[in-house]
Structure 1
């Protein structure tokens, strides 16, 4: 099987090349450019393409892929809201993803963001680099004894629950399907989680129901001086209304690894550009906000798991196709 990799970064190449030793029948062609209607032709002659979380896999792109006989789309990520699944099914294109690679990797970044924004690590780092050792403006709060509200308790949310419990926090959660393995977690309504939490961490998928679940109404229900962390999907939060809440002094701190508008920024080096009229620029202007570049997955262990599962998905697809072709009709 020959696979065309779109939007391949150095860490992708390194991790997949290590795993390829265990998959001798797979050949990978790496390209730095992402998939688009103009770059679909790069996959001519390949059996499958591999894309990432922000790749454009809309109906027009899928139609062009089908036209060059691509029947398998491999997503080296858990999220799939960037692909038109209905169109893929209509075109006979199989879509396979990596539903779980390292829940701890994302959860550990979530608590890192919460701790950093709480203890003003970003501000302290800059001050000390400029020989300013004053502690003014760096006061945080203890997490021990506080209440952590986890919205979504799948594998990543569950890992976050365990981390918060390890800090000595009371852990409450909202999920339509409570995780029975989390016996120490108190499940309650979303409204109650918002009202009672000192730290709120989002760990749910982006659906029609969860789109902009954090908005002016839900923000109004939160405690004053709450810490909000989002390492899940940017559109869970209405950015304009989050900015309004920050300006009104609602939040002690906000940590975002994902955010609306990230599509043009994530994984790109734009250091020589001016982000004019940008949600990202406005968020970065606040001293109590930390933004990272969608790096929750970026650990050696997670990358290895993503590579291994993606390649195994390709093998499983090919074996199933061969089996179906050999069946007596």
Structure 2
């Protein structure tokens, strides 16, 4: 099978080639998939994409015209793929059901701990030989209540991490009746009301888009910490900014951003015009943003490569 990989990073290429073991004809490009780059897929059977690729109806229409029969994404989420259009053209879609969920869960905890102890601010001060302790007072996680929204592979991996810090864990999931140790299952309103820290681990769909907005924020504790390592559009950024300004939200940790498409995964340091919402967020000392890197561990990348090649194997067979 011939497959073209879009949005390929250098480290991914070597791992994919190793996992492939010369079985499939693999072509790699650093370019993202769009209507302008569909021509790269000419002669291929499958395209392999990532979350920043534009797999919309016009793109799929062009891919179908080239004879593409398969689309695989190197991610758990498939919200960037127009599944209805793919089904119309009988193009099969596959994702990575799970890959090192500990990588995402650990990054969520890292964001939370760094925020709680002002580690970025402290490091910046020390680099200027400013060793003052002013404005660096943090809080203990021990005894705090952590609310996990979404208890799939990643949410479940987060439970022992926060439990190990001495936290009480409460959780909400759309699937009722989960019997999990070390966690109390609650409804969303109870989670909003009681959690000191809220961490999002759910997919993006019509039901979850802007699950964190003005209405849900009003139900939360004043000074709540919100962590999002899932999908940017789970949070309505303008509402969160308002809550940060008033102090209703005390801390915000993001590895994803509502308007990250075309921005994250690339170097935009030289841009003259920058996203105004993101710029305002990053000026706030109680906000920590990372560039969609929660998945970026050696173990996770190896598992993504292995499962992607297995998907191609299955389709070929």
Q: Distance in 1 between matches of 2:110 and 2:31?
A: 31
Do 2:52 and 2:262's aligned partners in 1 also have CA atoms closer than 8 Å? no
1:27 pairs with 2:25: yes
Pairwise CA distance, 1:277: 5.1
Output the TM-score relative to the length of structure 2.
Answer: 0.98
Is 1:8 aligned to 2:8, yes or no?
Answer: yes
Cα distance, 1:178 vs. partner? Answer: 4.3
CA distance in 1, matches of 2:179, 2:100: 18
In structure 2, the partner of 1:141 is: 139
Q: Distance in 2 between matches of 1:101 and 1:179?
A: 25
Superposed CA offset, 1:22-53 (max 9, x none): xx321211111111111101111111111001
The corresponding residue for 1:271 is 269
TM-score after normalising by structure 1: 0.94
* Aligned positions of 1:177-256 closer than 5 A: 177-178=175-176, 180=178, 182-256=180-254
Tell me whether 266-275 or 60-69 shows the greater mean CA deviation.
Answer: 266-275
Q: Is the 8 A contact 1:153 1:179 kept in 2?
A: no
- Alpha-carbon distance, 1:126 to partner: 0.6
Aligned to 1:171: 169
Matches within 5 A, 1:65-76: 65-76=63-74
Contact 2:117–2:138 under 8 Å retained in 1: yes
1:259 Cα deviation from its structure 2 partner = 1.1
CA distance in 1, matches of 2:180, 2:272: 46
Give the unaligned 5+ runs of structure 2. none
Any idea what the Cα deviations from partners look like across 1:236-262, whole Å, max 9, x if unmatched? 000000000000111221100011111
Answer whether contact 1:229 1:256 (CA < 8 A) is retained. yes
Distance 2:139 2:154 in 1: 25
Moved more, 169-178 or 116-125: 169-178
Post-superposition offset of 1:176? 1.9
Task: Let me know the Cα RMSD of the aligned residues.
Answer: 1.1
2:120 is the counterpart of 1:161: no
Residues 282-311 of structure 1, C-alpha deviations (whole Å, 9 max, x = no match): 111111000000011100000000000011
Equivalent residue number for residue 84 of structure 1: 82
Aligned counterpart, 1:17 = 17
| CA distance in structure 2 between the partners assigned to 1:274 and 1:251 by the alignment | 30
1:96 paired residue number: 94
- Indicate how the Cα distance of structure 1 residues 251 and 275 shifts in structure 2: closer, same or farther if over 3 A, else same: farther
